[in-house]
Chains A and B, each alone.
Chain A
Amino acid sequence: MLLRVEELHKRYGKEEVLKGVSFSLDKGETKVIIGPSGTGKSTLLRCINRLTEPDRGRIWLEDVEITGPRVNINRIRAQIGFVFQDFNLFTHLTALDNVRLGLIKVKGLSKKEATERAMAELARVGLADKARAYPAELSGGQQQRVSIARALAMDPKLILFDEPTSALDPELIGEVLAVMEELAQSGMTMLVVTHEMGFARSMADEIIFMEKGVIVEQGPPEQLFRTPKHPRTAEFLRRISDLYGGDQ
């Protein structure tokens, strides 16, 4: 088991955003978390690398407890990729430097090694020719692909995707999903929060349906889409397919 989350709780003031969430992720697995907005999906992801501190609950990455008292969180975070909804590329750096900075400052690679690695990752997301471009000179889709390359370069054990296509214009979503699909097929372990039901259906090994801070149901996509066990799941999937006019 690569990632294990046990009874995670998080409260913002009066609002309890996570009410005891437990699940696990095996190596090479892709799990997709779906559910209405404001049900704690993003908070869950951010608790996993402790960008947000959970109130209660425990998380393990392999045999290291991330939530343990003596853990070096920086070292853990370097092993967990995070792809943000709004990319968060470093504004003052070129695409190449965005990918390279962590390699040099966190992993201690020489500039030469870091450059080679960074160029390889940019090539992997199809953006080797944009290495010298600043984020503001790239489209949203390109920025998100650079941010995926930045996460990949660190050789993470898993990558967390927080609604990676939600900030994109519709015509740019495809290029980002294509990169993610290729990643999933290459055996990367991925935990993805998304509203892209097509991606969820075709790429997920399992889908987790969350609502109001709890996991309502989880299972393989075909089972979840065709024969949801819980009425809330059915209701959500119906609303989503109305909205996106999908083929579900």
Chain B
Amino acid sequence: MNLAFSWDWLPRLLQGLGLTVELTALSMAMGAFLGLVLAVLRVYAHGLLYPLYLLASGYVHLFRGTPLLVQVMTFYFALPSVGVRLSPFVAGLSALTLNTAAYQAEYFRGAIQSVRAGQMQAALALGFSRLQAIRYVVLPQALRLVIPPWSNELIYMVKGSAVVYLIGVLELMGQAKNIAARTFRNFEVYLVVAMFYLALIFVLTLALRWVERRTRVPGLGVPGRA
């Protein structure tokens, strides 16, 4: 086989990579915030707050129960018919954010529920309000426990963000598609793109492992190697 790469692709691919990083970072960060709120509501909204529990649960079921691709298409192609016109970037980013928020909510919920009940009890017994107890006692533990599943979601989103090329966002996959169409060098282009994703995810994995080590506390989560 006769492989032919070209340095000419590089600027566009790097631009695409930049956009992929941007989409992933923004959607993960905003999704984490929203996901955290959803998770806290799903665990703690009882009694008078029960409607909020239902709302949060409904949201999670809706966004986990429909394909990301359908969500992206809906945001870009269906919303204009109700008068909401979004640029491809904003439509793509919104869909990615709302989608990952639902998944992250479930990871956060699992982590919150694995913090032992006695921790909340001890905080309440000291005079903390429930919100203070969640903020200062439950979440600092839950956030440490959530790092491994959360890494999974991050890695998924790096790759999942590629679907927005279908609405014309020129992230890594979008750029690749264009270059391949122009040069007919499908194999080489996608090989390079695959390497880009692989490298990006490798770096992120290392970074998260570093965070996990830095925030590790004896007796919390999986015992680390000494």
Contacts and interface: CB of A to CB of B under 8 A. Distances in A.
Contacts of A102: 126-128
A110 B6 CA distance: 62
Given A49-B125, A101-B136, A154-B126, A86 B219 contact: no
B35 to A, nearest CB: 20
Interface string B99-132: 0000000000000000010110111111111001
B218 A106 contact: no
B127 A106 contact: yes
B125 A82 contact: yes
A92 B136 CA distance: 10
Nearest to A83: B125
B21 interface: no
B132 A91 contact: no
A78 B127 CA distance: 4
B218 A134 contact: yes
29 contacts: A51-B124, A74-B128, A76-B127, A77-B124, A77-B127, A78-B126, A82-B122, A82-B126, A84-B121, A88-B119, A90-B119, A90-B123, A90-B137, A91-B116, A92-B140, A92-B141, A92-B144, A92-B220, A102-B126, A105-B128, A105-B132, A106-B126, A106-B127, A106-B132, A136-B218, A136-B220, A137-B219, A150-B126, A151-B126
A81 B126 CA distance: 7
A35 B93 CA distance: 62
Contacts of B124: 51, 74, 77
A75 interface: yes
B217 interface: yes
Contacts of B219: 91, 134-137
Contacts of A101: 126, 136-137
Contact of B121 (A51, A81, A154): A51
Nearest to B117: A88
A204 to B, nearest CB: 23
Contacts of A106: 126-128, 132
Given A102-B126, A106-B126, A106-B128, A92 B118 contact: no
Contacts of B129: 74
A102 B136 CA distance: 10
Interface string B28-59: 00000000000000000000000000000000
Interface residues of A, number: 30
Interface of A: 49, 51, 74-82, 84, 86, 88-92, 101-102, 105-106, 134-137, 147, 150-151, 154
Contacts of A81: 125
Nearest to B218: A136
Contacts of B127: 74-79, 102, 106, 154
Interface in B164-207: none
Given A74-B128, A78-B126, A102-B126, A84 B220 contact: no
Interface size class of B (residues with CB under 8 A): 20 to 34
A51 B125 contact: yes
Given A51-B124, A91-B141, A92-B144, A86 B118 contact: yes
A226 B125 CA distance: 36
Contact of B217 (A49, A51, A77, A92): A92
B117 to A, nearest CB: 9
Nearest to B122: A88
A84 B218 contact: no
A91 B121 contact: no
A154 B127 CA distance: 9
Nearest to B144: A92
A106 B132 CA distance: 9
A214 B136 CA distance: 38
A217 B132 CA distance: 41
Contacts of B121: 51, 84, 88
B224 to A, nearest CB: 11
A51 to B, nearest CB: 6
Contacts of A75: 127
Contacts of A78: 126-127
Contacts of B125: 49, 51, 77, 80-82, 84
Contacts of A150: 126
